[in-house]
Structure 1
Amino acid sequence: MMNETRERGLEFFSDVLGKDAGDMMRQAVEQDGFSSTLGQIAVDFAFGSVWTRPGLERKHRSLVVIAILIATRQTAELKNHFRIGLANGLTRTELEEAVIQSIPYLGLPACTQASSALIEVLRERGIDTQSKTTEERGLV
């Protein structure tokens, strides 16, 4: 039987990444083993305890996480959080501006990686099919 925090975390996860992703995460945390333990920690702590706290709207929490992930160059996780940001109500323009706002503080290399990640997510969502990543433009 799952505790209330885990249920909140799984509900949040399904809400922002979709029912299929939520079902996959539920199955993952119900299993035994190392990867299951990591999933349990993520669901219980990050999603069930921190993301569901009062005090900040979800879209504002998304902006904070996105900025942290740009700074730490966690591109794969950044893509997930661009998806979560869209689900939490952030617009394409707000996501683009978050990347641009980061340039003076984090530098172009980190923000170029972030812009490529954002373009890929916008493309997969059908929001932007025209923009090209830095790699696609042959700039790196």
Structure 2
Amino acid sequence: MSTTRDEGFAVLREILPEAISGSGTEARIDGGGFAFGLGELSLENVFGRLWTRPGLDRRSRSLVTLGILIALNAEDELRFHLPIGLRNGLTREELEEVVYHASGYAGFPAAATAMRIGREVLDQHIAEPN
């Protein structure tokens, strides 16, 4: 019987395999230490419950997630989710359009931050393909 944690791990392995360390039951998405349980909460609640829901495909979920992260100015999470967007079928041009569109709703400073992060992350991703 599959648990939401197992389902979350399966999703994360597909969309961001480099975030997982170890294998089998010892696999982790965090390095331990302070508030190490946050990774488990993320596995169950975000990847196990939200990313596995019917109704939106992963490509659409990536678009929504990126827009929210830009609006929140969530730089660290944006660094993770830009490559996820590519893996989920978004093109670099579509990711740029998300940034442009967000400028009208989340503000220019948030979009400018997303542009900077996008340049760093996507240029590195292109230089070092999976």
Quickly name the TM-score band, shorter chain normalised: 0.7 to 0.9
Match of 2:43 in 1: 43
Structure 2's unaligned 5+ residue stretches are none
Match of 2:19 in 1: 21
Q: Contact (CA 8 Å) 1:5, 1:44: kept in 2 or not?
A: yes
CA distance in 2 between counterparts of 1:76 and 1:52 reads 23
Match of 1:112 in 2: 112
Deviation at 1:29, TM superposition (A): 6.4
In structure 2, relative to structure 1, the CA distance for the partners of 1:29 and 1:119 (3 Å cut) is: closer
Deviation at 1:71, TM superposition (A): 0.5
CA offset digits 1:68-91 (Å, max 9, x no partner) = 110110111111111111111111
CA distance in 2 between counterparts of 1:96 and 1:106 reads 15
CA distance in 1 between counterparts of 2:19 and 2:110 reads 28
Q: Percent identity?
A: 41
Q: Contact (CA 8 Å) 1:79, 1:117: kept in 2 or not?
A: yes
Query: Normalized against structure 1, the TM-score is what?
Result: 0.79
Match of 2:84 in 1: 84
- SS of 2:52 mapped into structure 1: coil
Which entry has the higher C-alpha Rg, 1 or 2? 1
In structure 2, relative to structure 1, the CA distance for the partners of 1:33 and 1:112 (3 Å cut) is: closer
Deviation at 1:28, TM superposition (A): 3.0
Code of the aligned partner of 1:13 = L
Code of the aligned partner of 1:119 = R
Match of 1:96 in 2: 96
Size of the alignment, in residue pairs? 125
Query: Normalized against structure 2, the TM-score is what?
Result: 0.85
- SS of 2:115 mapped into structure 1: helix
